[in-house]
Amino acid sequence: MASTNDLKNGLVLNLEGQLWQVQEFQHVKPGKGPAFVRTTLKQIPSGKIVDKTFNAGTKVETANVDRRTMSYLYKEGEDFVFMDMESYDQFPLGPNLVGDAAKFMLENSEVTIAWHDGKALYVELPASVELVITYTEPGLQGDRSSGGTKPATVETGAQVLVPLFIDNGEKIKVDTRDGKYLSRA
């Protein structure tokens, strides 16, 4: 059990028998009335996002989640195979569990997988990854007042919008949360 004052991003709650991950939270102290905590929660198996408000100081049940660093090995059919870095056990996970993380995972890259009661919940990537551009059109400077962008395909097959000066074969840094170009690597 934890108090709503202990909430933080990434914490997993057990509400009414379902697991919810805290995406955002905000403590609110109105001028009139009691304080409360406004949260944005994501249901772990389905990905459904809900806004929920708790009274300040209310007790909420937290789920025991074990985060383990694993190495992504390869894709076998539809499944993605991961290896535990400590025990060297291999675990195949389905595409619904991996989700959008598959767009930015390279073989032998390290990821964090959250586990609860022996079941994998979700895959977390680092905040940014470095990927090589496999194809992009040549950028043409033209009549525009601000920097333009163009689509580029990276080595994982994902599409990323990059500035016009980026060429094929260059290594770029991509934000894994929203898939945006950050910088050259």
Which residue intervals of 44-137 are DSSP H helices? 95-98
The matching CATH number, chosen from 2.60.120.10, 2.40.50.140, 3.40.50.300, 1.20.210.10, for 66-124 is 2.40.50.140
Number of Cβ atoms within 10 Å of the Cβ of 148:
13
Domains 66-124 and 128-184 share a fold: yes
Q: Pick the closest to residue 10 from 124, 119, 174, 180 (CA basis).
A: 124
The CATH number of 2-60, from 3.40.50.2020, 3.50.50.60, 1.10.3720.10, 2.30.30.30, is 2.30.30.30
pTM of the model: 0.75
In the chain, what are the domain boundaries? 2-60, 66-124, 128-184
Query: Can you count the helices (H) and strands (E) in the chain?
Result: 1, 16
Residue 96 backbone phi and psi in degrees, to 5: -70, -30
For residue 105, report the phi and psi dihedrals to the nearest 5 degrees: -95, 125
Starting at the earlier edge strand, list the strands of the sheet with 149-154: 159-163, 149-154, 128-136, 171-175, 181-184
So what's the pLDDT on residue 52?
Answer: 92
Q: Which two tokens stand for residue 165?
A: 């000066």
Fold of 128-184: OB fold (Dihydrolipoamide Acetyltransferase, E2P) (2.40.50)
> What per-residue confidence (pLDDT) applies to 142?
60
Q: Which residues of the chain fall below pLDDT 50? A: 143
| CB contact set of 46 (below 8 Å; sequence gap of 6+) | none
